[in-house]
Amino acid sequence: MLYYKNMKNIVKSLKIKRRAIATLAAMHYYGNPSEKLKIVGITGTNGKTTTATLLYKIATELGYKAGLIGTVENIIVDKKIPTINTTPGPMVLNQLLSEMVEKGVEYVFMEVSSHGIDQKRIAGINFVGGVFTNLTHDHLDYHKSFENYFLTKKKFFQSLSRDAFALSNADDEHGKDMVEGIKAKKYFYGFNDAEDFHGEIKKIDFNGIELKINDTEINSKLLGKFNAYNLLAVWSVSKILGFDMEKVKKILENIEPPKGRFDYFLSSSGILGIVDFAHSPDSLEKALLTVKDFKTGDSKIITVFGCGGDRDPLKRRVMGKIGASLSDIAIFTADNPRSEDVEKIIVEMRTDLSLAESKKVIVITDRHQAIAEAVKLAQKGDIIVCAGKGHESYQEIKGVKHHFNDMEELKNNLI
């Protein structure tokens, strides 16, 4: 009992130290740069990257100097900087913000991860607003329970000042609880009963999304219902920030999807290839349901995916079942196995499959060969979905990062 009590004290001490380091980095070494910027934080299981990237593009197109901090890349005006963590550590984060101040940046759009919140990476950062996209099963290897995951996200909104805004997805079952009892001014968006920013989907197909937000109609090139939510969130933030909404509408209608987020192309042989970062049960399900809505006639959905090593093992059986049930052919393969054995991960992915689902599964542990096999099996009109890695240009195996990009692999095999 004494051992566990001491361990709790050590963990508590470490968190206090992290908070102190973050605050010192912000307030002393870099002169508290966040006070000189308008920073909007976006958090949630899915949609953070798309929402933050679209907001950065809108602000830039409107003529503002803007910054982006997130999963794919960090951008200072037009300078791109590689990223390691979705939310950088406090020293790196404040260094980025300090450089943004020097470059005259006004708006910063930042992905805020649950790890970043729990590890106090954002302590001392002044946010003008926060956005909640959704909350589904993910990172439970780290947070241990869904309740802890929820409460960690909520801490971000509890930290917002009275002068800040909190925009939440009213259609998510956790949307209202996420912002309950906070000091910031609350707004809600959604397609059901949202009071502030109400959306209506008119049409979704492979040409894009037609939707109406309050009294404005928008035709977007983005695909899928999940992107309709991203568009609605982006529109809402733009309105709250006081942007010129006529110009925002035009920008949204011409904007392309972020790299690795439902990227697609049609090969000369008539096969549709899709690359998406979907690496949680909810995001994989949404991606495949979107594809099912678009497929016609006897076309097949061939899905290539795996689960990351050294990450939440509880989601593997869930993702395996989703991938097998929503695909005509599911090829189970490696994602980033890291230090784990790929075959072990795939065994866990197959745990809950029915006999019918098992018959649709092909196991090819080498991701390069898995994508090549998907192309061999595909015929004109079929859809190949490579899920899990999205924008990533590497595959991590036994501590070594090897060059690997799903879109490159697909195009090399299809064209």
239/341 same-domain check: no
Q: What share of the chain is helix, strand, coil (3-state, %, to 5)?
A: 40, 20, 35
pLDDT of residue 143: 47
Q: Which of 254, 285, 314 is the last residue of a domain?
A: 254
User: In the chain, what percentage of residues exceed pLDDT 70?
Assistant: 91
* Confidence band of 282 (pLDDT split at 50, 70, 90): confident
pLDDT of residue 187: 98
70/138 same-domain check: yes
Sign for the pseudo-dihedral over CA of 392, 109, 18, 14: negative
How does pLDDT run across 177-203, given as a tens digit for each residue?
Answer: 999 999 999 999 999 988 899 999 999
Query: What domain range is 392 assigned to?
Result: 263-414
Q: Which of 254, 285, 305 is the last residue of a domain?
A: 254
Question: Which CA distances in Å does 124 have to 17, 20, 389, 401?
Answer: 13, 9, 32, 33
What's at 151, amino acid-wise? L
CATH of the domain at 360: 3.90.190.20
Which one of 194-198, 202-206, 221-225, 317-321 scores highest in mean pLDDT? 317-321
239/105 same-domain check: yes
300/154 same-domain check: no
9 is a domain residue: no
pLDDT of residue 242: 98
pLDDT of residue 60: 98
239/275 same-domain check: no
User: In the chain, what percentage of residues exceed pLDDT 90?
Assistant: 73
152 is a domain residue: yes
Of 75-79, 118-122, 314-318, 352-356, which gets the smallest average pLDDT?
Answer: 118-122
How does pLDDT run across 350-364, given as a tens digit for each residue?
Answer: 999 999 999 999 999
* Confidence band of 259 (pLDDT split at 50, 70, 90): confident
Q: Which of 208, 230, 254 is the last residue of a domain?
A: 254
pLDDT of residue 275: 95
d(CA 49, CA 54): 8
Between vectors from CA 224 to CA 260 and to CA 141, what angle results, nearest 5°?
A: 60
How does pLDDT run across 128-143, given as a tens digit for each residue?
Answer: 999 999 998 655 555 4
How does pLDDT run across 368-388, given as a tens digit for each residue?
Answer: 999 999 999 999 999 999 999
7 is a domain residue: no
52/173 same-domain check: yes
53/193 same-domain check: yes
246/270 same-domain check: no
CATH of the domain at 146: 3.40.1190.10
97/242 same-domain check: yes
75/211 same-domain check: yes
pLDDT of residue 11: 40
221/310 same-domain check: no
- Token reading at 127: 């946010």
The residues with which 210 forms a beta bridge, in sequence order, are 203, 219
10 is a domain residue: no
Average pLDDT in the chain: 90
Q: Average pLDDT for residues 55-71, to the nearest whole number?
A: 97
13 is a domain residue: no
Report phi then psi at 264, rounded to 5.
Answer: -150, 155
Q: Collapsing DSSP states into helix, strand and coil, what is residue 259?
A: coil
Q: How many domains are contained in the chain?
A: 2
